[in-house]
Amino acid sequence: MPETRKQRMPYDFNQQIIQEFRANRGKVGGPFEGARLLLLTTTGARSGVRHTVPLGYLHDEGGRMLVIASAGGAPHHPAWYHNVRADPHVTVETGVFTIEAEAAVLEGEERERLFARAVEADSGWAGYQAKSGRVLPVVALTPLSGSLPDFPEGEVLKAIHDGFRRELALIRADAAVSGPRVGAQLRVNCLAVCGGLRHHHTAESGQLFPHLRDRHPELDAVLDRLHAEHAVLDHLLDDLQKLLSAGPADLLTEVDRLVAQIENHLSYEERHLVPLLNALPPRHEDHLNVTRIPATSDDHAAVTATIRALVTRTPALAADVRPALAHTGGVPGQWVSAAGGSATEDGVTLYVHGGGFEHSQPTLEPLMACRLSQATRRPAFRVDQRLAPAHPYPAALDDVVAVYRSLLEQGVPADRIIVCGESSGGTLVLSALLALRQAGDPLPGAAVAVSPLTDLTLSSQSLDTNDGRDVINRRVAEHVTAQYLAGARADQAPQSPLHGDLHGLPPLLLVAGTAEVLLDDTRRFAAAASAAGVDVTLDLYEGMPHAFHASVMAQDPPPIALTFLRRLTDWVAETRAGGTRSR
């Protein structure tokens, strides 16, 4: 239940609002229809687990958002308030943007002034304070960085417009009840919305419109009109702010007129631009080497059936399992070679298994190592890293790094080592790259991560948009993340690879299925690494679930699994680690 002027509601009801908010891009129905809401995600002061709550909020000057720890008038502060006191780094979702922010508990005159402004806008806050018997804390959320949702570009534009429409509707509703005497909070709301619209229009005129002119000369007349309307709207926004400052008797009529003109502009823009923008490549893929591998429902069924069968009947391992080196840094594991050759001459594939940081499948994982050895044409070593919760972060990461360093000590050239992992193993692969680079170790020649969890704050949109399509869900991700981190920060590298400096990493092959909840973890990391100058190849398998490639372990793998192996083989041959050519 949002902490607006309503009584507190059960946890499950909160979850319903959160799901509706995310599914409808910030819009909710029922008793909260039209309310100004955000989702606030904090880190548990005691548990270290990330918690999300829906809250009512107020705009503030300078781009801040204000939330009040009312707890529905309860005598004790809500849990989220204690969390931000312990760790002020929070994530805010507005329905359009996901924002990393810094929370600050306001004190003294500033707190008194802003709480009074909130009460002026809604007297219910005063009622809550009187009922609670405590001074309600006012918390300011200052944005540090933000990201857009992973929608087609046209849908992003419409989502931004819908956010402005909701704000304009709230301003109109507040103006209708205020009469000529306009409150301070309404003026601040107008200032925030007008500033946001101006920023949006500046970005369109300076970036989006030139981009479209280059590709769609037939749009010149439309873009000319929209650009001209931006100048007109700029004056309209000034007029709206002046109206709310003066508070004339015909305030509502004038507000209606100005809001109608703004909405007409938004609708005209959407009518002409949304179809074109939706046809553009997703922003994550604009400068990436992306391949979308088609798959059918039959492929999905074959993968699912094959993986289920592997659990009950393990195929025979047809590979050389003799030790290839004297030691592996004190970390247990297993050498599997289906390709023959020498580790020091041909290189090594270092395989880091998945399992949510807490599970291992010792009878199946050698089969995966065998397939990777075949595809990469070199011996593979399966790392038997320590597992949570008995051994939380950084134990598993330390094991992967130790094995890698042992290979270097034994004379394996760094550029002939490929580090490969899936799921949590993919996370460990990417974390190891960051840890090794930070320590000054030579990096491997290439790395492969299949279905990795890269953002341990669990902020990726696909955790919700793909919920129900995948074999795992957000609750699974929350569980494994909490077990693994055990209090370590979710927004820092190397444990959360997306939050690290990605410059200087080796060539990466990142693989995901488009039906999996961690799809955006893969895409966001690919985009960030590519922006940092890393050679990234992103393979997206249409309709495939989390870690679909596990079906390669079967005696007779399904066709889509063989496609994965073939593409891995081709990619290795094109990288430095393949020893054939350099990029």
* Cα 149 from Cα 152, distance rounded (Å): 9
Q: Are residues 296 and 430 in the same domain?
A: yes
pLDDT at 61: 84
pLDDT at 160: 87
Active-site choice (70, 423, 424, 496): 423
**543: Cβ–Cβ under 8 A, 6 or more apart, which residues?**
295, 296, 297, 299, 300, 513, 514, 515
β-partners of residue 337 are: 320
Residue 423 bears catalytic tag: yes
**253: Cβ–Cβ under 8 A, 6 or more apart, which residues?**
none
Q: Are residues 155 and 144 in the same domain?
A: no
Q: Are residues 144 and 158 in the same domain?
A: no
pLDDT at 219: 80
* Cβ(219)–Cβ(272) below 8 Å: yes
β-partners of residue 290 are: 538
Peptide bond before residue 362 is cis, with ω within 30 degrees of 0? no
* Cα 254 from Cα 524, distance rounded (Å): 44
Q: With respect to residue 133, please indicate whether it lies within any of the assigned structural domains.
A: yes
Q: Please say which residue of 259, 280, 301 terminates a domain.
A: 280
* Cα 580 from Cα 573, distance rounded (Å): 6
pLDDT at 120: 87
Q: Are residues 127 and 214 in the same domain?
A: no
Residue 574 bears catalytic tag: no
Active-site choice (230, 300, 546, 549): 546
Give me the sign of the Cα torsion angle 116, 121, 122, 123: positive
Q: Please say which residue of 148, 175, 194 terminates a domain.
A: 148
**74: Cβ–Cβ under 8 A, 6 or more apart, which residues?**
8, 132
CA distance readout (Å), 349 to 86, 446, 534: 42, 10, 20
Q: Are residues 106 and 58 in the same domain?
A: yes
CB-neighbour burial class of residue 181 (10 A; exposed 0-12, middle 13-18, buried 19+):
exposed
Q: With respect to residue 583, please indicate whether it lies within any of the assigned structural domains.
A: no
Q: With respect to residue 539, please indicate whether it lies within any of the assigned structural domains.
A: yes
Q: Are residues 472 and 550 in the same domain?
A: yes
Q: With respect to residue 338, please indicate whether it lies within any of the assigned structural domains.
A: yes
DSSP per residue over 9-55, as a string? Answer: --HHHHHHHHHHHHHTTT---GGGTT--EEEEEEE-TTT--EEEEEE
Q: With respect to residue 16, please indicate whether it lies within any of the assigned structural domains.
A: yes
Q: Are residues 407 and 338 in the same domain?
A: yes
Angle, CA 376 vertex, CA 370 and CA 379 arms, to 5°: 55
* Cα 61 from Cα 76, distance rounded (Å): 29
Q: For the chain, how many structural domains are there in total?
A: 3
Q: In the 8-state DSSP scheme, what is residue 506?
A: P
Q: Are residues 427 and 495 in the same domain?
A: yes
Q: What CATH number did the domain enclosing 414 receive?
A: 3.40.50.1820
Angle, CA 215 vertex, CA 212 and CA 221 arms, to 5°: 55
* Cα 575 from Cα 507, distance rounded (Å): 7
**SS3 sequence of 139-167:** EEEEEEEEECCCCCHHHHHHHHHHHHHHH
- Strand order of the β-sheet with 536-541 is 289-293, 536-541, 508-513, 446-450, 417-422, 348-352, 380-383, 333-336
Q: With respect to residue 79, please indicate whether it lies within any of the assigned structural domains.
A: yes
Active-site choice (153, 167, 422, 516): 516
User: Nearest 10 degrees: CA dihedral of 462, 468, 471, 475?
Assistant: 70
* Cα 507 from Cα 532, distance rounded (Å): 12
Write out the two tokens for 263: 């909405």
Residue 82 bears catalytic tag: no
Mutual orientation of helices 220-246 and 251-278 as an angle, nearest 10°?
150
Q: Are residues 543 and 465 in the same domain?
A: yes
Helices assigned H by DSSP within 108-206: 108-121, 124-132, 153-178, 184-203
Per-residue pLDDT of the chain (583 residues; tens, 9 = 90+): 345 444 344 456 788 888 888 888 888 888 788 788 999 999 888 887 788 999 999 999 888 999 999 998 999 999 999 999 999 999 999 888 888 899 999 999 999 999 999 998 888 899 999 999 999 999 999 988 777 766 778 888 888 888 888 888 888 888 887 766 777 888 888 888 888 888 888 888 887 888 777 777 788 888 888 888 888 888 888 888 787 777 677 778 888 888 898 899 899 989 988 888 887 765 555 556 788 899 888 999 999 999 888 888 777 676 666 544 557 778 999 888 886 666 667 889 999 999 999 999 988 999 999 999 999 999 999 999 999 999 999 999 999 999 999 999 989 999 999 999 999 999 999 999 999 999 999 999 999 999 999 999 998 888 988 888 999 999 999 999 999 999 999 989 999 999 999 999 999 999 999 999 999 999 999 988 988 889 999 999 999 999 999 999 988 899 999 999 999 999 999 886 544 333 3
Q: Are residues 295 and 422 in the same domain?
A: yes
Q: Are residues 95 and 184 in the same domain?
A: no
* Cβ(56)–Cβ(16) below 8 Å: no
Q: Please say which residue of 125, 148, 171 terminates a domain.
A: 148
Angle, CA 548 vertex, CA 341 and CA 490 arms, to 5°: 95
Quote the domain boundaries for residue 37: 1-148
* Cα 228 from Cα 557, distance rounded (Å): 59
* Cα 65 from Cα 446, distance rounded (Å): 43
Q: With respect to residue 529, please indicate whether it lies within any of the assigned structural domains.
A: yes
Write out the two tokens for 457: 């704050």
Q: What CATH number did the domain enclosing 138 receive?
A: 2.30.110.10
* Cα 557 from Cα 354, distance rounded (Å): 19
* Cα 171 from Cα 194, distance rounded (Å): 11
Q: Are residues 322 and 469 in the same domain?
A: yes
How many other CB atoms are found less than 10 A from the CB of residue 514?
Answer: 18
pLDDT at 349: 95
